[in-house]
Structure 1
Amino acid sequence: MNRSELVTAVAQRAGLTQSDADSLLSAFGDVLVEAVAQGETVKLPGLLTVERVERAARTGRNPRTGETMEIAASFGAKLTAGSKLKAAANGS
């Protein structure tokens, strides 16, 4: 499902216009990105949890030359599926 299909589905399910549904998804994405950037965990019970995780600095290897290199510490996003999402994926 791509974004336009998702907008259409949300608009039909919620009784919104497609423009309103698109605005809703844009706002949700903006809020999610801002919250994770600030280190907050976003929980949608039964659906998913999104949190910022820290990656420690480490030593890596350049696959082309075999030379070792230092990889700086960074942050990433971790998405965890909730119970309803897991059940849907399992066909339940």
Structure 2
Amino acid sequence: MKTNFLKTILPLAVIAVGLTSAASTSSLNRSSKSVAQLGYRHIANPESCNAVQECDENGNFNCKIGSNGPQLYDSNCVTPLKRSTVN
């Protein structure tokens, strides 16, 4: 009786562990995608900032207003943001 129990339960347990690990691996890959982040620029008061446009954070170009405009930062106006295109 004990061997029949192990012969049926053990394969089901192995399948359950495999499915669980596959699901956790695919969710890890999804979390690495970047999300568009709203870029802020400094205004007259250095501790204040103003929301301007979205930066995709995928590339190596500085996220600026236009091509020669000011650098855009995160919501704390501390970390400079990047984007994948020049403009």
Taking structure 2 as the reference length, the TM-score comes to 0.30
Greater fraction strand: 1
Greater fraction helix: 1
Taking structure 1 as the reference length, the TM-score comes to 0.28
